[in-house]
Amino acid sequence: DIQMTQSPSLLSASVGDRVTLSCKASQNIYKYLNWYQQKLGEAPKLLIYYTNSLQTGIPSRFSGSGSGTDYTLTISSLQPEDVATYFCQQYNSWYTFGAGTKLELK
Amino acid sequence: EVQLVETGGGLVQPGRSLKLSCVASGFTFSSYWMYWIRQAPGKGLEWVSSINTDGGSTYYPDSVKGRFTISRDNAENTVYLQMNSLRSEDTATYYCAKDNNNYDFDYWGQGVMVTVSS
């Protein structure tokens, strides 16, 4: 099974900050990587698919990058509404999710 | 507007069964794979099952294989999850989700809680 490790588990940042969230796979996943945002009490929402493709309706301040085993979600200018937990998910071999990064305002 | 509405959750004793339903609207249901994904309280997400467009192929992780069965009724725009021999570790919120034909989950239901406890 492919394991997904997200870091950090908790991130505190200020409005306007550039924020970077990391996701590392236990083996090469060939860019088959999606990112989701989950706000408290809500279902997850797809943000980025296939490493760097922005889902329709998602603000352009969100972007994704990476290859091989290492992937990154970047928020270029943090907004208050971005407070949430972010999960990465691989689909190179079945589907596994990372444990999440909780993003809070400083 | 795409909508996925799950029902059927509740409190059930270990070893018993429960069947979840997810009614879909706002898209051509029969054209998309469907999934069940769960989230234990305060935990991350776990893929539980997948079904292809005509229901002829189904997939499960080892944690539920042999106990859970996914099915669909394209005439009723509904996907089901039959859960047998339930265990305490199956306690979670269960979401149904739609595939975007790219192995990503572009729409999710609001989730339904399943609690397995005596």
Quick one: average pLDDT of A81-89? 97
pLDDT, mean of residues B69-73: 98
B44/A98 Cβ within 8 A: yes
Mean pLDDT along residues A37-52: 95
* B47–A43 C-beta distance less than 8 A: no
Subunit contact A100:B110, Cβ cutoff 8 A: no
Give me the mean pLDDT over the B8-19 stretch. 97
CA-to-CA dists, residue A94 to B35, B48, B62, B98, angstroms: 12, 11, 11, 16
Please compute Rg for chain B using Cα positions. 13
Contact A87, A29 (CB under 8 A): no
How crowded is residue A12: how many other Cβ atoms within 10 Å of its Cβ? Answer: 12
CB B97 within 8 A of CB B25: no
Q: Say yes or no for a CB contact (<8 Å) between A94 and B45.
A: no
- pLDDT of A4-34, one tens digit each? 999 999 999 999 999 999 999 999 999 999 9
CA dist A32 and A52 (Å) reads 10
Tell me how far apart the alpha carbons of residues A10 and B68 are, in angstroms, rounded to a whole number. Answer: 34
How many angstroms separate the CA atoms of B104 and A83, rounded?
22
pLDDT of B101 reads: 82
Q: Chain B partners of A34 at a C-beta cutoff of 8 Å?
A: 104-105
Radius of gyration of chain A (CA): 13
The percent of residues above 90 in pLDDT, for chain B, comes to 94
Q: How confident is the model at residue A84 (pLDDT cuts 50, 70, 90)?
A: very high
On average, the pLDDT of chain A sits at 97
Using an 8 Å CB-CB cutoff, list chain B residues near A49.
100, 102, 104, 106
Predicted confidence at residue A9, as pLDDT, reads 96
Query: Residues A46, A54: contact at Cβ < 8 Å?
Result: no
Residue B100 is predicted with a pLDDT of 87
Could you tell me if A5 lies within 8 Å of chain B, comparing CB atoms?
no
Do residues B56 and B69 touch, judged by C-beta distance below 8 A? no
Predicted local confidence at residue B102, as pLDDT: 81
Nearest chain B residue to A33, by CA? B104
The per-residue pLDDT for range B73-115, each reduced to its tens digit, is 999 999 999 999 999 999 999 999 999 888 899 999 999 999 9
Determine whether the interchain pair B102/A50 forms a contact, defined as Cβ–Cβ distance below 8 Å.
Answer: yes
Share of chain A above pLDDT 70, in %: 100
